[in-house]
Amino acid sequence: MIIGYARVSTNDQNPEPQVDALEKAGAEQVFQEKFTGTSRERPELSQCLRMLRSGDVLVVWKLDRLARSLKDLVEIVQDLQDRGIGFKSLTESIDTTSSGGRLVFHIFGALAEFERDLIRERTLAGLEAARARGRKGGRKPSMSDADVKKATAMLLDPMITKTEVAAHFGVSRTTLNNSLKRTAS
C-alpha cells in the first residue's frame, strides 16, 4: 500500500498541491498535517507511521515536509527500512525501494553522523579554549572565597552553629558545607 504524508507550515497554506501530487503518485491514503516544522507534536505523522506495515511505501512531496532536520529524516527513514517499509520523495526523486535510493540515504546518514561529530568536536574545542583562558564551567559559587574565610573564622567560636553561619550569609547549611569543602581541597 502506498501512503502519503503532506504537511503545511501554517494554516493559511494550501496542502492541495501536495495532496494532488501524492495521489498522482499512487497514494491510496494521504495524512495531512497543519503544523510548523519546529513543532515536536505531529499527530498525523505519528498515526501515519503507526499505520505503515512491511511492504508499504511512504511517499512525501518533499523531504522537508517529513522532518525538521537531516538527523530526524535519517532516523525516520532508518526506522522505515528496519520495518521493511519503502520511502519516496517526489521532488528530490528519492526512492529507497531501489538500490540507488538506498545509496542516497546511506550518504545522508553518513552526512548526519559527520555533522554530529563536527558539532561535538567544535563544542569540545570551545570548552578547551575557554579552560585555557582560565574560564571555569558551571555555576558561580554561592559563597566567595572571602565569605568562606569569614565563615571559617566564625565557626572557631564554639557558641556559633553552622546553621547560624549559613543564615548570616543567606545560604543553606548544605551550601555552607559544600563551600567549606571546596576551599579546604
pLDDT tens digits along 123-144: 999 888 888 888 877 788 889 9
Q: Tell the residue number behind the cell numbers 512531496, with chain if given.
A: 61
Q: Decide which of 63 and 26 is more confident.
A: 26
Enter the DSSP assignment of 140: P
Compute φ and ψ for 58, nearest 5 degrees: -95, 130
Contact 45, 16 (CB under 8 A): no
pTM of the model: 0.60
What's the CA dihedral at 115, 117, 118, 124 to 10 degrees? 150
pLDDT reported for residue 131: 85
Q: Where are the domains of the chain?
A: 2-111, 145-184
- Is-catalytic flag, 9? yes
- Domain range 2-111, CATH class: alpha beta
* Least confident residue range of 37-51, 60-74, 94-108, 136-150: 37-51
Residue tagged 498535517 (cell numbers): 33
* Catalytic entry in 9, 99, 172, 179: 9
